[in-house]
Chains A and B, each alone.
Chain A
Amino acid sequence: MGKIEETKIAMKSVSSLRIMFFLLGLLSFPLVAKGEEMSCKQCHADKIDYISFYKSIHRTLSCRSCHDGVSRLELHMQGNDRAKEVNCAKCHQNVFQKYRRDVHNVKLNMACQDCHQPIHALKRGRSLSSCNQCHPRENYVLRGHGRALEAGNMDAPSCADCHGLHNISVYDLASEKAQSLARETYTKRCISCHGNVKIAKRNKFSTQTVKSYYETYHGKVLRVGYTDKVAGCADCHTGHNTLPKTDSASAIHPDNLYHTCRSCHPIMHKRFVQFDPHPNPSDPKRSRIVYWVNVFMIALLTGTFAFFWTHSLLWWRRAYLEKYREGKKLIQVTLPGEKQVERFTFRDRMMHVLLVISFFILVLTGFPIKYADAPWAKMLLNFWGGPHAAGTFHRIAAITLCLLFLYTCWLSFKFLFPKGEKSGWVKRLLGPDSLFPNLKDLKDIVGMFRWFFHRGEMPKFDRWTYWEKFDFMAVFWGMTVIGFSGFILWFPGLFSYLLPGWMINVAMVVHSEEAFLAAIFIFTVHFFNNHLVPTKFPLERNIFTGRYPLETMKIERPLEYERMLAEGRLEEIKKDAPGIGTQLFASLFGLGSLILGLILAFMIFWAAIF
């Protein structure tokens, strides 16, 4: 017999022995278990209802399955050898892993048996009813969702649907951060059902509720992750008392609304409650005023862009043809030592630089809120140090812009009434040095379109072209509208003393649409007219250097040149060419702004389209 065969026989005999012992153990197990229970029962019969235990979910377990650690019965019976603490995690490891971070464990030190009572008579499905033992039905369940659940609506959430089962989050009541985290979590839970089309259809509620919430300041700011100071669902609808507004006990019942809003907006007039927290600007039945304001803003945007984009496109085509096909030299370079003419004073240039900076800050901090779900929104806000810091920057930039606007108003006033001179202001208003449109501008627009189609020469311009005047005058409209609406959104409670609450809804529409108009107009039309047109590409620097060559003036603004010559003022405006530092700043700042603006335009279009 070979060694291998010997080993095989030995292995077979070992296997047979193993099987024999296993069968013996299996047969004797009930006897052992029974005997063990008998001995436990002798002393612990008064503690456990064995009839209930044998019907319970743990009926197949022996006492020692849970209460292990007793090594000697005699000692145990004397009270010296106590069983170890019950460790449910031995079998329920997955639940335990979740539960270790549950508020009932972390803060209340509750063990499994505290909810799963009585632990020795445990049946499947009893745990949820345990919630009501500490969180009374009349306070938590018999209202809103709970009432619907009890009525048999299986779509209505139970405790666990909103709070989780063994993973109920820990929120420190004393911490503001924890409150905002709770707001974010629970609002998401609400939205998971109220934004679900199938559930909405089955229960006959509108999914517009979520969509419209996301369109409000509350919703947008919450979406980008700034949950500290905006209202989530439960802030208005309350956590458990979620009743329809027709119910007098509801927090959103008209009689209770003032009280509800005031909990976050302590300074507010009663008319503040006219604000619609779920507006739908495209639904005239819900709010006619907001609807028409929205229609007007869309018309304004469409009209403005339709005209100026067509204008830009035609201009680009014509200028391109002239520059590259006809070989016409439009830009004259300054020869060494040649004098230039001053177009913008130092003050004008500094105002423009400030304007550029504050405008970019406003766009970079405001648009992440407007397009809260855009992939770049959160990234941009993080760049500013979070939404709170971004909000602060937005407001600082807004105030800077307002001050610039007020200063421009003051300069305009001084232009019309120099040294208190009251007469002749109409002449100055409509004169060639004024930025106010006049009849010649209308003729110039017609002339430009004729030129676009090769039906005439390019009109001759004076100091200000019609598109420059439009840029200037648009600021008066834009600043009034966007500034005023911005202040309403900044201080909604205070403005409710002056205006009805629905004006906040109007302000939201106007501020948002006007911001889009301003940003896209600047980054497309203004950039094209002044920098990207083939005759000026890639950058017209005179807004930053303040000066440009005389020859360029003769081509671009011949009427101004002739006027200056006739009035003998040409020598007055002749200056030395800008220094290298100024030119470098103009190029870097100008090109930087141009590139940033174009990137932002791309990002805004991306967010608006997709």
Chain B
Amino acid sequence: MDLTEQQIERYSRHILLQQVGYEGQLKIAQGKVLIIGAGGLGAPAALYLAAAGVGTIGIIDADVVDITNLQRQVIHHTPDIGVPKVTSAANKIAEINPDVRVIQYHSWFNPDNALQIISDYDFIIDGTDNFPTKFLINDACVMVGKAFSHGGILRFEGQTFTHIPGTACYRCIFPKVPPKNLVPTCSQAGVLGSIAGMLGTIQATEALKYILGIGDLLTNKLLVFNALNMQFRTVPVKKNDNCPVCGTNPSITELVMEEQAVCELKTK
């Protein structure tokens, strides 16, 4: 595989970087990233990964664009209201960068499709809001040895870490899904739209670093920030021997959608 002259020009600011270069850009072009949830986190992640020239971007989301999404889900525009999020996202990616192959999954990520879908990708971005899916992504990635980026936002705060095989996973930190309504979600408590951009672009950066094999990933550490005072903190976290999925004696050996919901405002 070679880059065309036009591609060399398009990616020149990457190629100039000593840690990327021509070879690195080729790695990006061959990279495959799955974005689970084309929402607040998935939107900025998808935009930057597309612009960066990631060869294959998979997007899974069964939802359609809603007017309340537009405050932060920057890949979706006003005329997209009512359009499936995967379609809306794929259209924008095609406009940004025709080099990118987009694979759309207009469905929910669930225990039946999880392993098959993630097996096609190098890196997975968790852009979901609900805890059962966050735990499912974690368990599926741990079971098949995939790298992923966890992301969470609420009000003015965000948290993220990266898992690669052998490092702390989500369940090392939070062993089980929280019960309904004990943890507020963004739709109950609100979120400053730009927080989603801050966090989603960190996740995209981790994906690019992983593909390139450069720098230090956010493994074995949880990055937390509060945008009100703009303080960032990295909390070291250890792989937990008692972890129910990656510990020495795991109790979770197959994928399940654990516990129904954080809150159910409407049903589908």
Q: Do A and B come from one complex?
A: no
> Which residues of A are in contact with B by a Cβ distance under 8 Å?
none
Interface residue ranges, B against A (CB under 8 Å): none
